[in-house]
A = this chain, B = another copy of it.
């Protein structure tokens, strides 16, 4: 590393799909979000399953680059089995692995963005526009 990296990074976590058409809008969204955040903010896009990069891969890379606080923001509509069981288990296991590798790291899973008020408002706007 040639420059000090900030301590905190974020991962936008999408479900993932084997269909590249499913992935494309998320890539576009990542570029938009990066453009709206300050240059020093580190944001990655990763997938829970079926696509690359995986969440585990992104976390490992960020740990190796010196990030110590990693926030995972799920781009999901709601929290079902994946966000209540699968992803927390993956994060807990990886946090332990990283600690065994000597990394002092904290992984935090946030609630799905679908539960935020902006999202309900946007979904409602789109549906009302399409049905009116």
List residues of A whose CB falls within 8 A of some B CB: 10, 12, 14, 17-19, 21-26, 28-29, 32-33, 36-38, 41, 43, 71, 73, 75, 77-81, 84, 110, 113-116, 118-132
Contact B81 A17, beta carbon cutoff 8 Å: yes
Task: Name A80's contact: one of B17, B80, B84, B124 (CB within 8 Å).
Answer: B17
A20, chain B: closest CB distance, angstroms: 9
A8, chain B: closest CB distance, angstroms: 9
Residues of B contacting A132 in the complex (Cβ-Cβ under 8 angstroms): 37-38
Contact A25 B113, beta carbon cutoff 8 Å: no
Knowing A116-B126, A127-B12, A127-B113, say if A21 contacts B80 (CB, 8 Å).
yes
Closest B residue to A83 by beta carbon equals B22
A24, chain B: closest CB distance, angstroms: 7
Known: A25-B120, A33-B128, A116-B126. 4 other contacts (CB 8 A): A12-B127, A22-B78, A32-B120, A33-B124
CA gap between A79 and B22 in the complex, in Å: 5
Knowing A41-B131, A130-B73, say if A119 contacts B123 (CB, 8 Å).
yes
Residues of B contacting A38 in the complex (Cβ-Cβ under 8 angstroms): 132
CA gap between A13 and B114 in the complex, in Å: 15
Residues of B contacting A123 in the complex (Cβ-Cβ under 8 angstroms): 29, 33, 75, 113, 119
